C-alpha cells in the first residue's frame, strides 16, 4: 500500500472521533483532494470510513482482509510475516510461495489469499477455498533440517495452529495425525508441507495452511466444519494469522535451540489420534491396530492386533476407525 495511504490509516486510527480533511491535509502536507482520493482507495480495500460534512472522517471498521499492512500492524515478530503477499484471488498460495522461494525470498515470507481457485491438499486432494471466509496462506521456511527431519515442520505447524486458534477463539481443536485440526470430529484445518531439497538437505520448505474460520456449512465438504459453525460466532482472520505467526516463530526458535522435544510434548497433549484404532495398507495388505504414541521423529506408533509395534511416517495413508473407539 502506498505510504500516503498508510499514514492516513494511522492518523485515523489514532484519532478519537472525527478528524477534518483539512487537519489531515495539513498534517500530511498534501491537498484535500489527495486526501479524499486516498480515502476512496481505502474504502475499495474494505476500510469503512465515515464522512460527515463539517465533521470530517472517522474510521468505523477495519477490513478483515489479509492485506500486508493489517497483518503486520502490531505483529511483533522478528521474521515471520516480514513480507506478506496478498491476493484477492489466486490458483494456490503454494505455487506463489514456491516461486518466491526459488527467487530467494526471505524466510518468514507469507503468501495469503482471500480465495483460491485451485487450492490443494495432501494426496492430490482439492482444498475448498471459498472467498473471504477462510484463512488460506503459505509460509516460506529455510530450515536447517535434513529431508528426513522435514516432517517436524508439519507437526510444529499443527501445534502452533491449534494454540493460535485456542488463544483467539477459546476453541480447543485437536490434532489428527499428522496434520489435520479437528473440531467436533470434523475437519477444521489442514496443513500441507512441500519441499525443495538437495540430496538430503532441505533447501526451502513451504507450509500451507487452510483454516475454515467463518465459512458456512453449505460451502464446505460434509466432513468439514468451521470455527463459526461450531461456536456460532465469527472471528477475525487477520488476528488468527497474526497469532499463528507469533506462536510459530516462538516454536521454530525453540526447535532450533532445544530440538523437537517441546513441540512433541505439546502435540501429544493435543492429539486426537493417540488411543484410537487405525487402519493402513502396505503392499496390498490391510493392517489394523491401536495408535499408541508419537515417536521422537514424529512417526505414529501403532500396535497391530498381532501385538507387533510398527512406526508409520507422515505421507502414509492412515484411516482412523471412528466406530471402534477404545
- 56-84 per-residue burial string, b: 16 or more CB within 10 A, e: under 16: bbbbeebbbbbbbebbbeebebebbbbeb
3-state secondary structure 229-270: HHHCCCCCHHHHHHHHHHHHHHHHHHHHHHCCHHHHHHHHHC
Indicate the residue among 192 and 245 with the shorter CB distance to ligand BTN. Answer: 192
Give me the DSSP letters along 259-301. -SHHHHHHHHHTBSSTTSEEEEEETTEEEEEEEEEE-TTSPEE
The minimum distance between CB 88 and ligand BTN, in angstroms, equals: 15
Q: For the chain, give the longest Cα–Cα distance.
A: 81
Is the bond into 127 cis (omega within 30 degrees of 0)?
A: no
Measured from the CB atom, the residue of 221 and 259 that comes closer to ligand BTN is 221
Q: In sequence order, what DSSP letters do the residues of 117-130 get, joined into one string? A: SS-B-GGG-B----
The size of the chain, in residues, is 326
Cβ-based nearer residue to ligand BTN, 122 or 246 = 122
Q: Least distance from C-beta 231 to ligand BTN, angstroms?
A: 21
Binding site for ligand BTN (CB under 6 A): 92-94, 116, 119-122, 125, 127, 136-138, 180, 190-192, 208-210
Indicate the residue whose CB is closest to ligand BTN: 190
**Nearest approach, Cβ of 183 to ligand BTN (angstroms)?**
14
Nearer to ligand BTN, 46 or 121 (CB): 121
Q: Which is nearer to ligand BTN, 9 or 188 (CB)?
A: 188
Calpha distance 32→296 (Å, rounded): 62
DSSP secondary structure code for residue 173 in this structure: P
Q: For residues 116 and 133, which CB has a smaller minimum distance to ligand BTN in the complex?
A: 116
Give the cell for residue 52.
Answer: 460527515
Q: How far is the CB of 89 from ligand BTN (least distance, A)?
A: 13
Least distance in angstroms from the C-beta of 190 to ligand BTN: 2
CB of 232 to ligand BTN, least distance (A): 24
Amino acid at each position: 500500500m502506498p505510504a500516503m495511504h498508510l499514514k492516513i490509516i494511522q492518523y485515523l486510527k489514532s484519532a478519537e472521533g472525527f478528524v477534518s480533511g483539512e487537519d489531515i491535509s495539513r498534517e500530511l502536507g498534501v491537498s484535500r483532494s489527495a486526501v479524499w482520493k486516498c480515502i476512496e482507495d481505502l474504502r475499495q480495500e474494505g476500510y469503512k470510513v465515515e464522512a460527515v460534512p463539517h465533521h470530517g472522517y472517522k474510521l468505523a471498521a477495519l477490513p478483515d482482509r489479509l492485506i500486508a499492512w493489517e497483518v503486520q500492524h502490531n505483529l511483533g515478530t522478528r521474521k515471520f510475516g516480514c513480507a506478506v503477499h496478498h491476493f484477492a484471488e489466486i490458483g494456490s498460495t503454494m505455487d506463489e510461495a514456491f516461486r518466491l522461494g526459488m527467487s530467494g525470498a526471505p524466510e518468514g515470507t507469507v503468501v495469503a489469499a482471500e480465495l483460491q481457485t485451485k487450492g490443494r491438499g495432501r494426496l492430490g486432494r482439492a482444498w475448498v477455498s471459498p472467498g473471504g471466509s477462510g484463512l488460506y496462506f503459505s509460509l516460506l521456511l529455510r530450515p536447517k533440517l535434513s529431508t528426513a527431519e522435514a516432517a517436524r515442520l508439519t507437526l510444529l505447524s499443527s501445534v502452533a495452529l491449534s494454540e493460535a486458534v485456542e488463544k483467539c477463539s477459546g476453541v480447543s481443536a485437536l490434532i489428527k495425525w499428522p496434520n489435520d485440526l479437528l473440531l467436533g470430529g470434523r475437519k477444521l484445518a489442514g496443513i500441507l508441507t512441500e519441499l525443495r531439497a538437495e540430496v538430503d538437505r532441505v533447501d526451502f520448505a513451504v507450509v500451507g495452511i487452510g483454516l475454515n474460520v467463518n465459512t458456512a456449512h453449505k460451502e464446505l465438504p460434509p466432513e468439514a466444519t468451521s470455527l463459526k459453525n461450531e461456536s456460532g460466532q465469527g472471528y477475525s482472520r487477520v488476528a488468527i494469522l497474526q497469532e499463528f505467526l507469533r506462536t510459530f516463530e516462538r516454536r521454530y526458535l525453540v526447535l532450533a535451540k532445544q530440538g523437537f522435544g517441546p513441540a512433541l510434548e505439546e502435540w501429544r497433549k493435543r492429539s486426537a489420534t493417540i488411543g484410537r484404532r487405525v487402519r493402513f495398507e502396505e503392499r496390498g495388505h490391510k493392517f489394523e491396530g491401536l495408535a499408541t504414541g508419537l515417536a521422537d521423529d514424529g512417526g505414529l506408533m501403532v500396535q497391530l492386533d498381532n501385538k507387533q509395534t510398527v512406526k508409520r511416517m507422515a505421507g502414509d495413508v492412515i484411516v482412523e476407525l471412528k466406530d471402534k473407539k477404545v
